[in-house]
Amino acid sequence: MAMNWNICLRQREAKSIKPDTEMAASLEKTSANKAFSSQLLELKEETVSSKISLHYDSVRELLEAITLRKGFKIYNHTCYTGFLKEIMGDPELAEEFDELRIIRNDINYYGKEVSVIEAKEVLKRLENLRTKLLKIISIS
């Protein structure tokens, strides 16, 4: 379930910090490496969960970089949704991230099987989200 930003702050799942551009730049590099690694993996039944996990991690690291640049530290993935919606003012981006977060959690924590066909769609959505986040980083 997506978290309201104020609840995240109240429950100390997120906090204000001094912007950390060095750490943000490091995360952006790690994100690029994970996206690259995901691209190297051929998409087949055996690699579906790995490709999705790598690509999701790549997106999440970009989100963390954005929050650090904006002066926030977030401690759980659900609070990124609140951040995107309420701080960045982008409810569509927030919803897309949350849907992809749930898909990735179902795969990682509940053993959900995803077909190659479904994976193609999820990977395309993750790549589109990654592109949008990179655009946010480039203009901020």
Provide CB contacts within 8 A for 123, sequence distance 6+.
Answer: 38, 43, 51, 52, 55
Give the C-alpha separation, 40 to 32, whole Å: 12
pLDDT of residue 140: 72
Q: Is 38 exposed, middle or buried (0-12, 13-18, 19+ CB in 10 A)?
A: buried
pLDDT of residue 53: 94
Please list the rounded mean pLDDT of every run of 10 residues in the chain (140 residues): 83 96 97 95 94 96 97 94 95 96 93 94 97 92
Nearest to 55, CA basis, from 40, 67, 65 = 40
Say if residues 122 and 100 touch (Cβ distance below 8 Å).
Answer: yes
pLDDT of residue 27: 97
Provide CB contacts within 8 A for 21, sequence distance 6+.
Answer: 68, 69
